[in-house]
């Protein structure tokens, strides 16, 4: 195959044009208007990614009612289980209003009341939600274009290029015509999303190839064992039932929520997923939801007024709900494995361990350590996904503006050429396996919740057998065309994510927050107030642990 | 999901060639035919039934018809395999 080579350069290269990448681009142009910013996006920035596929819910903290420290205490105890970076969580809560105002200023529609204040729905003593229109990414892209940000759509970043431990740029390819790009940049910002293993429909853009590129380039990973989110879904439509865990019943009509939950919690917990598995294994399934007479039923619809206009929001919701309603004749539920591994380790400036390489939003949520012992987003903290991406974007832009762009690193053309060869290898193979065969094996490992959410050494071993087989086949993938080539890249990334998950999960010999091991059921603060850091050293996955500096933070066990 | 059997109905006579559906597809199911100025539904077995292409089409030229039985939750009990 002979595809064209093109060399490009820019000051800052952003990989991924979801809400995180777009917000960063706008924010850095606001601070440093002369900076040449290029966004490369695998699909089409403004439409791709996740922010337009869901509830459009933004977490809201009423400054008159909630002190950041009070929310922090709740979060650390109930959600983060002492593993979170408390400074970052405090900063995130403190910047809530600023972030929402920024989105509004950038053109995102956020419904207001007659007094011009955001329409707020209280959801608990400390939490509340507001809504943002689902076309938010289109609006922020428009804003970015006005500020002079350049875009290259349908172009997937394939590898990061380094020069003596510093970032020098990245390689990318067009999924339409195969053009191979070598892009020189003074800084690279990864905003490529999390790893969802192509299981949940709406989550399917999270394929982890940005995470894999960072890993290959030597960037540290943290909290990789917390990439195992699952949610209850209706078994016919597979549509998720947010907060359904409060209303679970087994086949004998027994209310089983009481087995794992005494009082209402912020959101779905891994104990709900465990309960489903225990009921099933004991022959008491299937599990269904009951809401009682007069209850509106599942779903957090209160924020949406139900109006049916021609807006994207209305049409998107109506089409999805109508179609599911046609098949959902009952409320039988089962877990849908979502994953959400987001392990790129970043410091308070959003910089990775590779100088000049930054990571924001869903690709580094757990890696930033802000949420603690929970897969994020949503991290049992609804409405934090979009805002975390905006938060990380603003913090990253602020830190680059303060420290200035590094630069000075040179592209090593031999390195770029070797990336090119490896990238295109599946197109040149006459025989081999398909990307989907490899992905199916990874899914067999991670999707069954007793192998990924409610873990035990022997069951993890069983899962690892699939992962090892997938690793072996990943070296033999063949691609028919460029769409297929992208799938090969993604399949490779899924194998790596599963490897990281099981490697780190086997090391953490305790249960903490979302992380549940049947063989180590207790939280062990004496030995495990630690982060597990993974790193690629000459092709070998290695680990170290880092103590959580709990002594310098306000909330302690 | 992989290897889904969702279907997409396309009514070319209604399509005005605005490209929005092509842009809206977040997993590269839809390609663009520059000559015909129409979308091509090229990789339909990768469709995630997200309905975004249908939601953005102001001309009602697209209808997504999900086949939920082709999606798998992959739990270990036969009922959900
Ligand atoms: C169904 C659903 C409902 C949700 N509901 C809410 C909600 O109500 N409130 C909330 O706050 N959050 C919600 N979330 C989470 C929220 O949408 C995400 O946390 C947020 O959008 C993440 O933004 P991001 O830019 O970091 O990542 P993404 O939106 O995943 O964007 C990453 C982008 O990078 C691109 N990309 C990936 N790899 C490459 C590559 N190699 N080269 C180039 N480009 C690449 C992808 O195509 C994508 O466009 C929901 C998510 C889903 C799926
Ligand atoms: S969105 Fe509708 S009108 Fe526009 S190109 Fe697609 S099918 Fe045609
Ligand atoms: S329904 Fe979604 S995944 Fe399927 S073709 Fe349309 S936009 Fe793409």
**pLDDT (tens digit per residue) in A362-404:** 999 999 999 999 998 888 998 999 999 999 999 999 999 999 9
Domain, as residue range, for B35: 7-80
Question: In this structure, are residues A124 and A177 in contact, taking their beta carbons and an 8 Å threshold?
Answer: no
> What's the pLDDT score for residue A110?
96
> What's the pLDDT score for residue A307?
61
Instruction: Report the share of chain A in percent with pLDDT over 90.
Output: 91
Instruction: Please compute the mean of the pLDDT values over residues A130-141 and round it to a whole number.
Output: 97
> What's the pLDDT score for residue A304?
58
**Lowest-confidence pick of A194-198, A306-310, A357-361, A422-426:** A306-310
Query: What is the C-alpha separation between A385 and A350, in angstroms, rounded?
Result: 16
Instruction: Please compute the mean of the pLDDT values over residues A48-77 and round it to a whole number.
Output: 94
Task: Please provide the average confidence, as pLDDT, over all residues in chain A.
Answer: 95
Whether A123 has a pLDDT exceeding 90, the answer reads no
Work out which ligand 1 atom sits closest to the CA atom of A45: 49
Query: What is the C-alpha separation between A345 and B16, in angstroms, rounded?
Result: 46
Instruction: Please compute the mean of the pLDDT values over residues A503-515 and round it to a whole number.
Output: 98
Q: Is A524 helix (H, G, I), strand (E, B) or coil?
A: coil
> What's the pLDDT score for residue A19?
98
A120 alpha carbon – ligand 2 mean position (Å): 35
Residue of minimum CA distance from atom 2 in ligand 1: A54
Residue of minimum CA distance from atom 2 in ligand 2: B57
A528 alpha carbon – ligand 3 mean position (Å): 43
Whether A60 has a pLDDT exceeding 80, the answer reads yes
Q: How confident is the model at residue A74 (pLDDT cuts 50, 70, 90)?
A: very high
Domain presence at residue B1: no
DSSP per position, A339-386: E-B--B---TTSB-SSBTEEE-GGGSTTTTTSS-SS-TTTTTSTT-HH
Phi, psi at A22, each rounded to 5°: -65, -45
ipTM of the complex: 0.97
Closest chain B residue to A313, measured at CA: B55
Whether A264 has a pLDDT exceeding 90, the answer reads no
Q: Give helix then strand counts, H and E, for chain B.
A: 2, 4
Domains: count for chain B: 1
Query: What is the C-alpha separation between A23 and A528, in angstroms, rounded?
Result: 35
Chain segment A206-258, per-residue pLDDT in tens = 999 999 999 999 999 999 999 999 999 999 999 999 999 999 999 999 999 99
Q: How confident is the model at residue A551 (pLDDT cuts 50, 70, 90)?
A: very high
What is the dotted CATH code of the domain comprising A423-527?
1.20.58.100
Determine, for residues B26 and A440 on separate chains, whether the beta-carbon distance falls below 8 Å. no
| Domain positions in chain A | 229-338, 423-527
> What's the pLDDT score for residue A406?
80
> What's the pLDDT score for residue B47?
98
> What's the pLDDT score for residue A306?
57
Whether A557 has a pLDDT exceeding 70, the answer reads yes
CA distance B59 to chain A (A): 11
Whether A76 has a pLDDT exceeding 90, the answer reads yes
Whether A303 has a pLDDT exceeding 60, the answer reads no
State both tokens at B34: 């520059």
Determine, for residues A205 and B1 on separate chains, whether the beta-carbon distance falls below 8 Å. no
> What's the pLDDT score for residue A379?
87
> What's the pLDDT score for residue A126?
86
Burial of residue B74 (CB within 10 Å: 0-12, 13-18, 19+) is: buried
Whether A64 has a pLDDT exceeding 90, the answer reads no
- Residues of chain B below pLDDT 70: none
> What's the pLDDT score for residue A378?
86
> What's the pLDDT score for residue A512?
98
Instruction: Please compute the mean of the pLDDT values over residues A95-117 and round it to a whole number.
Output: 96
**Lowest-confidence pick of A29-33, A61-65, A171-175:** A61-65
Beta pairing class for A516-517 and A128-131: unpaired
> What's the pLDDT score for residue A252?
97
Determine, for residues A337 and B24 on separate chains, whether the beta-carbon distance falls below 8 Å. no
> What's the pLDDT score for residue A305?
57
Residue A407 contacts B, CB cutoff 8 Å: no
Whether A471 has a pLDDT exceeding 60, the answer reads yes
Instruction: Please compute the mean of the pLDDT values over residues A438-455 and round it to a whole number.
Output: 98
> What's the pLDDT score for residue A300?
45
| Residues of chain B neighbouring A486 (CB-CB closer than 8 A) | 28
Beta pairing class for A166-174 and A155-163: antiparallel
Residue B70 sits in a domain whose CATH number is: 3.30.70.20
Q: How confident is the model at residue A296 (pLDDT cuts 50, 70, 90)?
A: low
Residue of minimum CA distance from atom 39 in ligand 1: A192
Question: In this structure, are residues A336 and A234 in contact, taking their beta carbons and an 8 Å threshold?
Answer: no
Domain presence at residue B2: no
DSSP per position, A251-292: TT--B-GGGT-SS--SS--HHHHHHHHHHHHTT---EEE---
């Amino acid at each position: 195959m002979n595809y064209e080579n093109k060399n490009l350069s820019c000051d800052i290269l952003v990989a991924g044009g979801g809400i995180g990448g777009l917000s960063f681009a706008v924010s850095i142009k606001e601070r440093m208007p002369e900076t040449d910013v290029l966004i490369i996006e695998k699909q089409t920035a403004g439409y791709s990614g996740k922010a337009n596929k869901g509830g459009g819910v933004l977490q809201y903290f009423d400054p008159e009612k909630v002190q950041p420290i009070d929310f922090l205490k709740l979060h650390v105890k109930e959600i983060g289980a002492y593993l979170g970076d408390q400074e970052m969580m405090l900063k995130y809560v403190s910047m809530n209003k600023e972030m929402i105002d920024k989105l509004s200023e950038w053109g995102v529609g956020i419904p207001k009341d007659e007094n011009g204040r955001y329409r707020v729905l209280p959801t608990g003593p400390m939490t509340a939600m507001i809504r943002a229109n689902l076309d938010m990414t289109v609006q922020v892209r428009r804003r970015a274009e006005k500020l002079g940000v350049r875009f290259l759509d349908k172009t997937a970043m394939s590898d990061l290029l380094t020069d003596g431990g510093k970032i020098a740029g990245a390689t990318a390819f067009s999924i339409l015509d195969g053009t191979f790009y070598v892009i020189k940049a003074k800084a690279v910002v990864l905003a490529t999303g999390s790893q969802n293993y192509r299981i949940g429909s709406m989550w399917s853009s999270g394929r982890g190839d940005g995470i894999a590129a960072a890993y290959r380039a030597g960037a540290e990973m943290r909290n990789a064992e917390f990439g195992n989110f699952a949610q209850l879904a209706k078994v016919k439509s597979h549509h998720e039932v947010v907060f359904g865990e409060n209303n679970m019943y087994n086949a004998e009509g027994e209310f089983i929520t009481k087995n794992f939950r005494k009082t209402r919690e912020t959101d779905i917990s891994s104990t709900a997923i465990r309960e489903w598995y225990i009921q099933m294994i004991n022959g008491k399934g299937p599990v269904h939801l009951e809401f009682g007479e007069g209850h509106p039923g599942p779903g957090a619809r209160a924020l949406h007024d139900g109006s049916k206009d021609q807006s994207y929001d209305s049409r998107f919701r109506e089409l999805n709900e109508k179609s599911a309603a046609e098949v959902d004749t009952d409320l039988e539920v089962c877990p849908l494995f979502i994953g959400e591994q987001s392990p790129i380790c970043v410091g308070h400036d959003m910089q990775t361990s590779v100088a000049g390489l930054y990571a924001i939003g869903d690709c580094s949520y757990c890696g930033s350590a802000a949420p603690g012992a929970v897969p994020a987003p949503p991290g049992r903290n609804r409405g934090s996904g979009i805002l975390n991406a905006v938060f990380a974007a603003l913090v990253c832009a602020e830190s680059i503006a303060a420290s200035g762009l590094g630069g000075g690193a040179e592209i090593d053309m031999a390195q770029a050429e070797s990336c090119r060869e490896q990238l295109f290898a599946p197109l040149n193979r006459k025989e081999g396996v398909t990307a989907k065969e490899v992905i199916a094996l990874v899914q067999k490992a991670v999707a069954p919740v007793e192998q990924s959410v409610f873990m035990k050494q022997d069951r993890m071993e069983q899962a690892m057998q699939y992962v090892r087989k997938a690793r072996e086949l990943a070296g033999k993938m063949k691609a028919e065309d460029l769409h297929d080539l992208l799938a090969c890249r993604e399949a490779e990334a899924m194998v790596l994510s599963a490897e990281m998950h099981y490697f780190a999960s086997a090391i953490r010999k305790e249960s903490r927050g979302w992380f549940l091991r049947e063989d180590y059921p207790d939280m062990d603060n004496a030995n495990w107030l630690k982060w597990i850091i993974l790193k690629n050293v000459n092709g070998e996955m290695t680990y170290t642990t880092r103590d959580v500096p709990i002594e310098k933070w306000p909330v302690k066990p | 999901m992989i290897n889904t059997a969702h279907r997409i109905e396309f009514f070319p006579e209604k399509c005005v060639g605005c490209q929005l559906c092509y842009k809206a597809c977040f997993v590269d199911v839809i390609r663009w035919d520059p000559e015909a100025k129409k979308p091509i539904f090229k990789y339909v077995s990768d469709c995630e039934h997200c309905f975004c292409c249908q939601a953005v089409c102001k001309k009602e030229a697209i209808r997504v018809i999900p086949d939920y039985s082709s999606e798998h939750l992959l739990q270990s009990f036969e009922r959900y395999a």
